């Protein structure tokens, strides 16, 4: 990867300011959490276009996101992976929590992230990239042989200014199953809605229903060697379409910036929000008593 190119792109993204809508990102988190009592059900996939010596793969995953409170969101992931001329396997699960320590909106809004992962080495959903990235060459029969128990933390910083949202994440991950050091990763994203004001019409293709943006993400090595070298890095334009009041579609083609990356990462996601799920669940169990 040309470090000069990456060094140019990061300030470009972080110089942009932010708006109040949820971003179209697949890797970068901002400060917008799920509404209390709402359940979001989402399915997404990460498809890797191979280089020489690699194989085409697709890694689908299911997300269940619940707003516990206005400042606490929990999420469960179930993930798999299928490699061309190899096999299709279940790669594991993740349990994620995000917390907003500050009650009010500020110029910069911090969010604390904690995730427990029970995944094997065949995981390729790449919700984050840490260390030197996933193994894209070894067969699934080798990669699925053991389960890693990992703890991941992020510092999420996000700003909403005028019509823009800008966010940056720094990731630290520790494999609890092996005596290893820490792995590091980063992501930066900026996005905005195409329309400022909602129209009075019931319109699916109105400008305000589309959010466009871009993100840059990759690995930062380990405690044995911190830095950009030897890790995959991507720049990814992204777009989100609010199809209805409670459903949305996201698309992002990530472009690999170095030899350790796939040339292209195609990401697709669809989400459906069940509003008031917590209240409905409480009423249902209360009625049974």
Q: What is the mean pLDDT of the chain?
A: 89
Label residue 20 by pLDDT band (50, 70, 90): very low
Residue identified by tokens 């959903």 is 125
Has residue 4 got a pLDDT over 90?
A: no
| Lowest mean pLDDT, pick from 36-50, 175-189, 196-210 | 196-210
Residue 18 pLDDT > 50: no
Is it true that domain 3-288 has CATH number 2.40.160.40? yes
pLDDT in the model for residue 205: 86
Q: Is 9 exposed, middle or buried (0-12, 13-18, 19+ CB in 10 A)?
A: middle
Q: How confident is the model at residue 259 (pLDDT cuts 50, 70, 90)?
A: very high
pTM for this entry: 0.88
| In the chain, where the domains are located | 3-288
Question: CB neighbours of 98 closer than 8 A, spacing ≥ 6?
Answer: 29, 33, 72, 73, 75, 111, 112, 113, 156
Whether residue 6 has pLDDT greater than 70: no
Q: What is the pLDDT of residues 33-69, one digit of tens each?
A: 999 999 999 999 999 999 887 899 999 999 999 999 9
Query: Is residue 171 classed as helix, strand or coil in its secondary structure?
Result: strand
Q: Which of 178-192, 203-217, 251-265, 271-285 has the lowest mean pLDDT?
A: 271-285
pLDDT at 23 over 90: no
How far is it, in rounded angstroms, from Cα 262 to Cα 241?
26
Q: Please report, rounded to a whole number, the percentage of residues in the chain having pLDDT higher than 70.
A: 90
In contact, 261 and 233? CB cutoff 8 Å: yes
């Amino acid at each position: 990867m040309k470090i000069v190119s990456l060094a140019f792109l990061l300030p470009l993204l972080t110089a942009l300011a932010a708006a109040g809508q949820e971003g179209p990102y697949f890797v970068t988190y901002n400060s917008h959490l799920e509404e209390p009592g709402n359940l979001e059900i989402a399915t997404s996939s990460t498809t890797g276009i191979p280089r020489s010596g690699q194989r085409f793969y697709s890694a689908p995953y299911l997300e269940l996101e619940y707003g516990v409170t206005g400042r606490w969101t929990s999420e469960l992931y179930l993930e798999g992976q299928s490699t061309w001329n190899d096999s299709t396997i279940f790669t594991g699960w993740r349990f994620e929590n995000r917390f907003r320590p500050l009650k009010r909106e500020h110029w910069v809004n911090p969010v604390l992230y904690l995730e427990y992962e029970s995944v094997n080495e065949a995981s390729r959903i790449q919700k984050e990239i840490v260390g030197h990235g996933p193994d894209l060459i070894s067969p699934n029969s080798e990669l699925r042989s053991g389960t890693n128990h990992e703890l991941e933390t992020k510092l999420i910083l996000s700003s909403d200014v005028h019509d823009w949202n800008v966010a940056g994440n720094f990731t630290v991950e520790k494999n609890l199953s092996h005596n290893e050091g820490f792995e590091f990763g980063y992501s930066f994203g900026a996005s905005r809605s195409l329309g400022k004001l909602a129209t009075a019409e019931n319109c699916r293709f109105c400008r305000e229903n589309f959010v466009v943006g871009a993100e840059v993400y990759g690995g930062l090595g380990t405690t044995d060697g911190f830095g950009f070298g030897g890790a995959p890095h991507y720049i990814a334009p992204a777009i989100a379409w609010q199809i209805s009041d409670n459903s949305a579609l996201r698309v992002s083609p990530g472009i690999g910036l170095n030899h350790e990356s796939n040339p292209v990462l195609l990401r697709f996601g669809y989400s459906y929000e069940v509003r008031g799920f917590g209240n409905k669940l409480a009423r249902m169990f209360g009625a049974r008593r």
